[in-house]
């Protein structure tokens, strides 16, 4: 394993973890549902709230806060919905050469019995944890990060 700025354990010690105030849901849609959803601008997520859209060959997955889910719910009748997530962001730009950062985060939380959903944006890593696991996740991460907020 690399040392210094590339070592995931050392990187984690210099990172703030920011917990979003909102509660989130993951929504799994069929291609047909996705097409119906994007045809109606009233069903778009608010541009002021974080959201994510990921499309793979099997489905379209949306990450939405509970407010946007409430707005769209009537149009998502057959969608798979998993609610009650909190979004934790490792608040720093992550270099693409870093290897094992999310592995280290997942290891720490697995040892605490906390299940995660890992997400990455272009420059930051994020995880989702269930609201019921949030306190346990923060307690587990606390000794390994610079700051929890």
Q: In this predicted model, what pLDDT tens digit does every residue of 12-31 receive, in sequence order?
A: 888 899 999 999 999 999 98
Verify that 37 and 78 share a domain, yes or no: yes
Region 88-110: mean pLDDT is 92
Tell me whether residue 65 is in a domain. yes
Region 97-117: mean pLDDT is 95
Question: What is the average pLDDT value for the chain, to the nearest integer?
Answer: 90
Domain limit, last residue, from 68, 83, 98: 83
Domains contained in the chain, number: 2
Q: Cα dist. 29→8, 10, 81, 89, 143 in Å? A: 34, 39, 9, 25, 38
User: Which CATH number characterizes residue 32's domain?
Assistant: 3.30.70
Q: What are the φ and ψ backbone dihedral angles of 49, each rounded to 5 degrees?
A: -115, 145
Question: What is the reported pLDDT for 5?
Answer: 58
Tell me whether residue 149 is in a domain. no
Q: In this predicted model, what pLDDT tens digit does every residue of 22-58 receive, in sequence order?
A: 999 999 999 888 888 888 888 888 888 889 999 999 9
Region 108-124: mean pLDDT is 96
Verify that 99 and 137 share a domain, yes or no: yes
Q: What are the φ and ψ backbone dihedral angles of 111, each rounded to 5 degrees?
A: -65, -25
Domain span holding position 9: 4-21+85-144
In angstroms and rounded to an integer, the radius of gyration of the C-alpha atoms of the chain is 17
pTM as predicted: 0.88
Q: Which of 97, 99, 98, 92 is nearest to 123 (CA)?
A: 92
Tell me whether residue 109 is in a domain. yes
């Amino acid at each position: 394993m690399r040392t210094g700025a590339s070592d995931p354990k050392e990187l984690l010690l210099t990172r703030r973890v920011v917990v979003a105030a909102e509660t989130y849901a993951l929504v799994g849609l069929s291609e047909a549902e996705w097409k119906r959803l994007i045809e109606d601008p009233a069903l778009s997520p608010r541009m002021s709230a974080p959201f994510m859209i990921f499309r793979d060959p099997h489905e379209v997955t949306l990450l939405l806060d509970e407010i946007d889910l409430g707005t769209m719910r009537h149009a998502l009748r057959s969608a798979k919905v998993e609610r009650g997530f909190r979004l934790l962001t490792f608040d720093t730009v992550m270099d693409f050469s870093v290897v094992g950062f999310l592995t280290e985060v997942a290891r720490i939380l697995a040892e605490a019995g906390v299940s995660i959903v890992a997400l990455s944006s272009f420059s930051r890593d994020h995880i989702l944890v269930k609201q019921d696991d949030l306190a346990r996740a923060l307690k587990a991460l606390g000794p390994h990060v610079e700051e929890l907020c």
